[in-house]
């Protein structure tokens, strides 16, 4: 064999080895593409399942929101009643504060009058007793009016 024959033999062996390597590589590529094909075949079913679950979730969320709205609507009148009671109690308290301030002022005026006229003893005590009786009656009337206002505002709130 001459050198040309040996060169052709080496080229042939190299080409054979290259062919085997390419065959293995193409076999591996075929396996990968088969796996991708199986995955792509399963994808529509998986997407259908996800869409169905999403639809169910939206439906349940809608039902939950509707239930919350119904419960909130049932509680709304209670909040209005509580607000009306608070407003009525504020008015009552304001009336009582005004009456207390008036009584304090009138008591100071009565004391000044007693000091100016030197009404000591029995006359001073009688005048002071009369004054307190008159103020107590006025306070009771104001408290009764405020109580009536409170009752009427709470009955209006429940209607």
Between 31 and 109, where is the model more confident?
A: 31
Put simply, whether the predicted model's pTM sits higher than 0.85 gets the answer no
Domain hosting residue 18, numbered range = 3-158
Which two three-digit tokens encode residue 125? Answer: 């005590």
pLDDT on residue 117 = 59
pLDDT grade for 38, boundaries at 50, 70 and 90 = very high
pLDDT on residue 157 = 52
Q: Are 154 and 84 in contact (CB under 8 A)?
A: yes
Q: Which residue has the tokens 């979730």?
A: 57
Q: What angle do CA 75, 80, 86 make, to 5 degrees?
A: 130
- Give me the mean pLDDT over the 60-78 stretch: 89
pLDDT on residue 20 = 96
- CA dist 54 to 40, 48, 59, 75, 94, Å? 21, 10, 9, 31, 57
pLDDT grade for 36, boundaries at 50, 70 and 90 = very high
pLDDT on residue 113 = 63
User: Using CA atoms, how far apart are residues 41 and 71, in angstroms rounded to an integer?
Assistant: 47
pLDDT on residue 150 = 67
Count the domains in the chain. Answer: 1
């Amino acid at each position: 064999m001459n050198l040309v024959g040996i060169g052709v033999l080496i080229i042939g062996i190299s080409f054979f080895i290259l062919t085997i390597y390419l065959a293995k590589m193409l076999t591996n590529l075929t396996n990968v593409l088969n796996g991708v094909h199986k995955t792509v075949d399963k994808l529509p079913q998986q997407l259908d399942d996800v869409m169905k679950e999403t639809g169910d979730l939206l439906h349940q969320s809608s039902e939950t929101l509707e239930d919350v709205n119904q419960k909130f609507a049932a509680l709304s009148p209670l909040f209005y009643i509580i607000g009306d009671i608070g407003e009525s109690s504020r008015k009552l308290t304001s009336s009582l504060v005004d009456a207390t301030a008036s009584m304090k002022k009138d008591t100071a005026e009565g004391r000044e009058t007693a000091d100016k006229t030197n009404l000591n003893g029995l006359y001073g005590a009688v005048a002071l007793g009369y004054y307190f009786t008159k103020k107590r009656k006025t306070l009771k009337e104001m408290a009764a009016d405020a109580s009536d206002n409170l009752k009427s505002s709470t009955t209006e709130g429940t209607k």
